[in-house]
């Protein structure tokens, strides 16, 4: 009996996450967290998927960059690992957040609570430029302005 396919995927994803964080490749780290969210969603682990999609949104609002192992303070001052000026949230992620939160019967306040509590540790540990509270305001606008058609599927 072999190792289940998703166990192999989890191992590889965790290896990549460690590598990307060590190399200041936060854009790649963010993409890998998105892959994690997709697996959780497909496994119907919806609460975990929602938290992870919200984490991806938080990364997106902070503008993650890839710096390929650069740790030179002078270079990082000019080219920071997070640049909120390049922030962008893909509408597809917003749609996933809406669909999952509807399935879990969560309202916007409950989503906000998860978003802030889940991302607080990231903010402190990575010294991200935008706090979860401020990022939530931007995310909430995106959630409210994107089409709610998918919410009713």
Contact 62, 139 (CB under 8 A): no
pLDDT score of 152:
41
- Structure tokens belonging to residue 113: 């609570």
Enter the pTM of the model.
0.90
Q: Regarding predicted confidence, which is higher, 45 or 149?
A: 45
Q: How confident is the model at residue 149 (pLDDT cuts 50, 70, 90)?
A: very low
Choose among 64, 81, 63: nearest CA to 72: 81
Q: Is the pLDDT of residue 114 over 90?
A: yes
Stretch 89-95: mean pLDDT: 93
Contact 56, 71 (CB under 8 A): no
Task: In whole angstroms, give the CA distance from residue 70 to residue 57.
Answer: 25
- Structure tokens belonging to residue 56: 């991806």
With a pLDDT cut of 70, the percent of the chain lying above it is 93
């Amino acid at each position: 009996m072999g190792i289940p396919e998703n166990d192999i995927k989890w191992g590889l994803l965790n290896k990549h996450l460690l590598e990307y964080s060590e190399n200041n490749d936060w854009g790649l780290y963010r993409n890998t967290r998105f892959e994690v969210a997709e697996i959780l969603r497909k496994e119907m682990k919806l609460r975990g998927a929602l938290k992870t999609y919200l984490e991806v949104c938080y990364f997106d609002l902070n503008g993650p960059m890839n710096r390929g192992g650069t740790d030179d303070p002078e270079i990082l001052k000019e080219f920071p690992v997070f640049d909120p000026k390049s922030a962008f949230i893909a509408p597809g992620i917003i749609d996933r957040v809406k669909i999952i939160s509807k399935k879990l019967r969560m309202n916007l306040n409950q989503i906000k609570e998860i978003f802030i509590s889940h991302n607080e540790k990231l903010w402190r540990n990575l010294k991200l430029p935008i706090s979860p509270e401020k990022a939530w305001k931007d995310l909430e606008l995106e959630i409210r302005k994107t089409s709610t058609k998918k919410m009713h599927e």
